């Protein structure tokens, strides 16, 4: 497969996707200032390599919340993979598991979490247990939310990633222009079917798995995180933390890890690039919980910059979707291979023996003068 980098997979994906669906995947909120900022901010950070360290070939593996990862790159949750490829989340799960990469499976997946887990198990090397986490939009109906959590637990998910940047849906003008507000006939949010509860928006049939049933509620609060902590033993990761006070509150509320994220620029436009927020969040949590980061990670060098600024691992959203659309399971595998090879090369060139070896001394700004 002749894809030189993640960008070439986006081009390939764009060529095969329905333009309306491409816009859904690529787009962001309003003027898409944050979408652009996420990538641009990485380009403003320079790397200054150390030399003659005899570091040998780097080992790329890392561990987050007890999950062993073959590299510090995970798959962020992205909804509706069936829009990208008929094999959908099944293909994504196989590619991630085969690569030893943690997949954060979206609550709004178009394949049920049990089937995603089964595919991951089939693909994991040597029968190892694959690393699968579950992303949750807490629904105001707690009975319904609990039923989803139980499904994720029973399927073998090892952490709950609670998305907290979505008290409402961001304004996606591309989707408005395209009049794209529903999944096509035959596609459903398979995790939402046939669950108990009354809190789903009533569309005249509670168990349909229809995306319009999902409630993004401004009433969700720290009390819901405390409630989740009571009903589940799984580690809780908050996804969408950008303010240092919230990072502190998360630690005080017993959250296990934070995912520094602006939802890939799809929620509040003009939020700053995540890589620019990472240092202030790292300062706030003082190493008390692991930090993850997503938003604009497209190169192995981006991963190193995030590690140097305090992340334990990074995650990608759109790149996996581009791989899936371009070539199904093989395309997602190619994206992961590219990032692995780039990270290996960049660590070697920086004189680092492992991700844990990366420190802020490697960083500068691209604009001089430098000290
Ligand atoms: C098409 C698409 C669907 C997404 N769906 C979800 C979702 O269901 N839940 C969620 O928490 N984040 C969702 N996200 C946000 C991603 O988890 C992630 O934060 C973001 O994509 C990272 O930025 P990147 O695409 O630049 O890598 C979605 C992003 C995209 C592009
Ligand atoms: C009404 C729920 C729509 C959420 C869509 C999934 C998501 O987070 C995203 O596209 O971004």
Residues with CB under 6 A from ligand 2: 79, 108, 169, 211, 214, 216, 263, 266
When divided into structural domains, the chain yields a total of: 1
List beta partners, residue 62: 69
Report if residue 343 sits inside a domain: yes
Please identify which residue in the block is written with the tokens 């029968």: 127
User: Residue 360 maps to which CATH number?
Assistant: 3.20.20.70
Task: State the closest ligand 2 atom to the C-alpha of 263, by its place in the atom list counted from 1.
Answer: 11
Is residue 85 part of the annotated active site? The answer reads: no
Q: Residue 186 falls within a domain, yes or no?
A: yes
Q: For residue 200, what pLDDT is reported?
A: 52
Residue 202: pLDDT band by 50, 70, 90 thresholds? Answer: low
Asked if 221 contacts 207 with a C-beta cutoff of 8 angstroms, the reply is no
135 is in an annotated binding site: yes
Q: How confident is the model at residue 193 (pLDDT cuts 50, 70, 90)?
A: confident
295 domain-assigned: yes
What tokens were used for 54? 């005899």
* 289 pLDDT higher than 80: yes
> For 23-64, how does the pLDDT look when each residue is reduced to its tens digit (9 = 90+)?
999 999 999 999 999 999 999 999 999 999 999 999 999 999
Residue 133, domain member (yes or no): yes
Q: Is residue 1 part of a domain?
A: no
79 and 58 in contact (C-beta within 8 Å)? Answer: no
DSSP 168-218: S----HHHHHHT--SPPTT---GGGTT---S-S--SS-TTS--GGG----T
Residue nearest to atom 7 of ligand 2 (CA): 79
Ligand (nearest to CA of 32): 1
| Average pLDDT score, the chain | 96
Domain with 202, as residue range(s), is 6-365
Query: Is 165 annotated among the ligand-binding residues?
Result: no
* Ligand 2 centroid distance, CA of 79 (Å): 7
What pLDDT is attached to residue 199?
47
Which one of 213, 266, 269 would you pick to mutate in the ligand 2 pocket, going by the greatest count of ligand atoms within 8 A of its CB? 266
Is the shortest distance between the CB of 240 and ligand 1 below 6 Å? no
Which residue's structure tokens are 């309003």?
A: 30
Q: Annotation-wise, does 77 bind a ligand?
A: yes
C-alpha distances in Å from residue 357, one per residue of 45, 52, 247, 285, 347: 18, 15, 25, 20, 9
Tell me whether residue 370 is in a domain: no
Q: What is the pLDDT of residue 371?
A: 79
| Residue 232 DSSP one-character state | -
The finding on whether 318 has its CB within 6 A of some atom of ligand 1 is: yes
């Amino acid at each position: 497969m002749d894809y030189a980098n993640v960008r070439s997979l986006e081009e390939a994906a764009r060529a095969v996707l329905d333009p309306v669906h491409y816009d859904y995947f690529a787009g962001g909120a309003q003027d898409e200032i944050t979408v652009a900022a996420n990538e641009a901010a990485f380009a403003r950070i320079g790397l200054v390599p150390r030399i003659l360290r005899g570091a040998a070939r780097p080992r790329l593996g890392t561990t987050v919340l007890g999950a062993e990862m073959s590299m510090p790159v995970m798959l962020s949750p992205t909804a509706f993979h069936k829009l990208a490829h008929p094999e959908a989340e099944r293909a994504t799960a196989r590619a991630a598991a085969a690569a030893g990469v943690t997949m954060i499976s979206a609550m709004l997946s178009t394949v049920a979490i049990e089937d995603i887990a089964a595919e991951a198990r089939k693909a994991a090397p040597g029968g190892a247990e694959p690393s699968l986490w579950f992303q949750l939009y807490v629904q105001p109906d707690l009975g319904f939310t609990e039923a989803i959590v139980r499904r994720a637990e029973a399927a073998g998910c090892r952490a709950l990633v609670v998305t907290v940047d979505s008290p409402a849906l961001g304004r996606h003008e591309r989707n408005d222009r395209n009049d794209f507000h529903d999944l096509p006939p035959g596609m459903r949010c398979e995790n939402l079917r046939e669950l108990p509860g009354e809190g789903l928006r009533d569309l005249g049939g509670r168990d349909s798995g229809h995306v319009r049933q999902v409630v993004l509620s401004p009433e969700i609060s720290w009390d819901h995180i405390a409630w989740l902590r009571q009903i589940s033993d799984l580690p809780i990761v908050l996804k969408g933390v950008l303010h240092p006070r919230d990072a502190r509150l998360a630690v005080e509320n017993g959250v296990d890890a934070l995912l520094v994220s602006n939802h890939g620029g799809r929620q509040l436009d003009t939020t700053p690039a995540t890589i620019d927020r990472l240092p202030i969040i790292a300062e706030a949590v003082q190493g008390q919980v692991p930090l993850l980061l997503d938003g604009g990670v497209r190169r192995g060098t981006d991963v190193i910059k995030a590690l140097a600024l305090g992340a334990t691992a990074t995650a990608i959203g759109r790149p996996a979707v581009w791989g899936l659309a371009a070539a199904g399971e093989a395309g997602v595998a190619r994206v992961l291979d590219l990032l692995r090879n780039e990270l290996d090369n960049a660590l070697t060139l920086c004189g680092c023996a492992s991700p844990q070896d990366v420190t802020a001394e490697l960083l500068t700004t691209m604009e001089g003068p430098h000290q």
